[in-house]
Chains A and B, each alone.
Chain A
């Protein structure tokens, strides 16, 4: 179980570090992606595009390092839940979220696949949180 949790932590943290860095490299593209969801008020989009990738990278990196494990798992789980809601909302409204949101191909299917991926990651975060081998 100890190894399993370590691997889970590394994967979950790694995904967020990777996703975060990708967005840090292209803030304008990420702002466009956020705007495609049409959820956030227009004015706030850039602020989120500037800050969120760094929060993802920092929390993901700390989780990989095993520092403040629970707090970081909590952040990542919260973010993932927000993502799931945003994706579900966009799908519900029938937005063409294949359009410039990601480079993935495949129309509506991308929605369900992303939704499933993020839900799995929420469960991973929960397992990381629950890990009894450590106190933090």
Chain B
């Protein structure tokens, strides 16, 4: 047992060292220390009622930050899917439909979900001025009985 524990430790350390080294040269490297969390401001959120109004007015762009499978299971009617985790790959498609002052509402699902915050941060970096998060978006929206749809299209 002691020998196996020792060996297990050797393998774990070797794996960790490999990972640390690979992250130095990987094109997808991430910082070794996680960047501190930026607490969202109240102004970053849009209340459900206001989101509904904007949705009805039709000029606002709704972006679903969840994974495509979740999006296909059900999403806000008319919302486009821009998964926060596939931002770089999927953004160019969406970008053709946006201008810097397009009103954008991002959402994911669950109070703990911060995909919509990540998406909002990325969009703001790209100089979109008017981006807000609909918190607990999917659950709040469909529980309120607002229009939803399924499938991989808006």
Residues of A bordering B, CB below 8 Å: 24-29, 31-32, 35-36, 38, 42-47, 49-59, 62, 68, 70-72, 74-75, 78, 95-96, 98-100, 102-105
Contact = CB atoms under 8 A, between A and B. Distances in A.
Interface string B1-31: 0001111101110111011101100101111
Dominant SS among interface residues on chain A: helix
A92 B50 CA distance: 33
A74 B15 contact: no
Contacts of B72: 105
Given A55-B19, A74-B4, A99-B66, A27 B30 contact: yes
Interface of B: 4-8, 10-12, 14-16, 18-20, 22-23, 26, 28-34, 36-37, 66-70, 72-73, 84-85, 108-115, 118
B118 A96 contact: no
Contact of B11 (A35, A49, A55): A55
B112 A38 contact: yes
19 contacts: A27-B29, A28-B30, A42-B36, A45-B34, A46-B32, A51-B20, A55-B16, A56-B15, A68-B7, A70-B4, A70-B7, A71-B4, A71-B7, A74-B4, A96-B109, A99-B115, A100-B66, A100-B67, A100-B113
